[in-house]
A and B are shown apart, each in its own frame.
Chain A
Amino acid sequence: MKELILIIISGALINNVVLNQFLGICSFLGVSREMKPSASLGGAVIFVLTVASAVASLLYDYVLAPLGMDFMKTIVFILVIAALVQIVEMFLKKTSPAIYKSLGIFLPLITTNCAVLGVALTNVQDGYNFIESVLSGFGTAVGYTLAIVLLASIRERIREEDLPEPLRGAPIVLIAAALMSIAFMGFSGLSF
């Protein structure tokens, strides 16, 4: 039980996917302009990453590994993720238009989010079983959501500031991310 909790905490805080491993940087910088879309994207990422980790783990354990096709994992995972995102999109459109409306436009973005493929590959590399993979996917996605929502709230504040010209745009966002990353380094002291 302790290990399982540790996997979630490590995914969300200690090895934060954006601030520590630099996965999903593009959407982190691109969508974090305002709080609301950031939170919606975070929700979509939590959903897709958890499902993708589960599917990737099952595929690896019951199809790729027994067939000795370990080297095919990159190709298989990226296709599974792309297909999964499509299915999730169609499913949400049919069953709950309300959620689709708030998450819909972000779903295609998630395919290119390297965090999804990154987590699927790391789970396999670390030899996680099914439950551990799902929890690791969930924890990572929570960490992503935390980071993007925090950055969005910082950006909502710095937008009104009178910044020197060369700092406007990306640089100030990157500096804010650097300071957040320093803060998150503090979590590396967390050990059980």
Chain B
Amino acid sequence: MNKYTERLYNGLIKENPTLVLMLGMCPTLAVSTQAMNGIGMGLSTTAVLILSNVVISALRKVIPDEVRLPSYIVIVASLVTVTELLIEAYLPSLYKALGIYIPLIVVNCIILGRAEAYANKNTIGLSAMDGLGMGLGFTIALTLAGLVREVLGSGTAFGLQVLPESVEPIGIFVQPPGAFLVIALFIIIMNAIGIKTRQRQLVESNGCEGGCAGCMAAATCPSKGKNAEKGAAK
């Protein structure tokens, strides 16, 4: 496997951002009411992620270290604004379905997380592949969650009726509680078959380790900062 396909495998399976790293939980829970929304949200995020990784990787020698986080935020926010305008213009129904969660891609920790962990140390080509792999991994997880919720909650898959009419769908799965339940179910399955996730770290930490907190707040956590440096040195 060469370096580029390794990046894809890493994003899709080994370090799947949603299921293994537990990043970007807010959009995962919020837009997974339908499989189609999952694909829309996933692909929008993928587009932003590839572009932000490319831009940040290209500028990695130009941006001074002290102001890198604000710079990344500006880059990501600009890309998200462009994406939002494009979706509004060409895919109005998706724009309506995703609503506030499109601009919130800015604070999706997958994007800043990859910028900080990968794009600012690697070449443009590898960073683009990393963005693609991570983005697709996110898309697949979102679509899967959306599919489970849609089938259980409204008896359809991608808008087509799959459950027989006589089966009453369990409405709670398309309501907010269903999102928590389905993600919990995914993690239980992963735990049961022995795939290590970072979830324990996320819920057992003081906030300096996992999740969104890990991305931007990392600079403020002394121990974490040292670890990151060590990791980079290796």
Contact = CB atoms under 8 A, between A and B. Distances in A.
A181 B188 contact: no
Contacts of A181: 176-177, 180
Range of interface residues on A (Cβ < 8 Å) = 35 or more
B97 interface: no
Interface string B103-131: 11011110010000000000000000000
A171 B186 CA distance: 9
15 contacts: A23-B26, A30-B209, A75-B74, A75-B77, A75-B81, A78-B106, A112-B112, A114-B104, A121-B104, A168-B191, A169-B187, A171-B188, A173-B203, A175-B180, A178-B177
Interface of B: 22, 25-27, 29-30, 70, 73-74, 77-78, 80-81, 84-85, 100, 103-104, 106-109, 112, 172, 175-181, 183-185, 187-189, 191-192, 197, 199-200, 202-207, 209-213, 215-217, 219-220
B207 A170 contact: no
Contacts of A161: none
A121 B203 contact: no
A118 B101 CA distance: 8
Contacts, number: 169
**A contacts with B: majority SS:** helix
Contacts of A19: 176
A74 B80 contact: yes
* Residue among A21, A25, A71, A82 facing the most chain B CB atoms (10 A cut-off): A25
Contacts of B202: 26, 29-30, 170
Interface stretch (A57-65, A103-111, A129-137, A138-146): A103-111
Interface of A: 19-27, 29-31, 33, 37, 41, 71-75, 78-79, 82, 105-106, 108-109, 111-114, 117-118, 121-122, 125, 165-175, 177-179, 181-182, 185
Given A22-B30, A111-B216, A182-B172, A174 B211 contact: no
Given A26-B213, A112-B107, A174 B183 contact: yes
A27 B213 contact: yes
A185 B191 contact: no
Given A22-B179, A170-B199, A71 B85 contact: yes
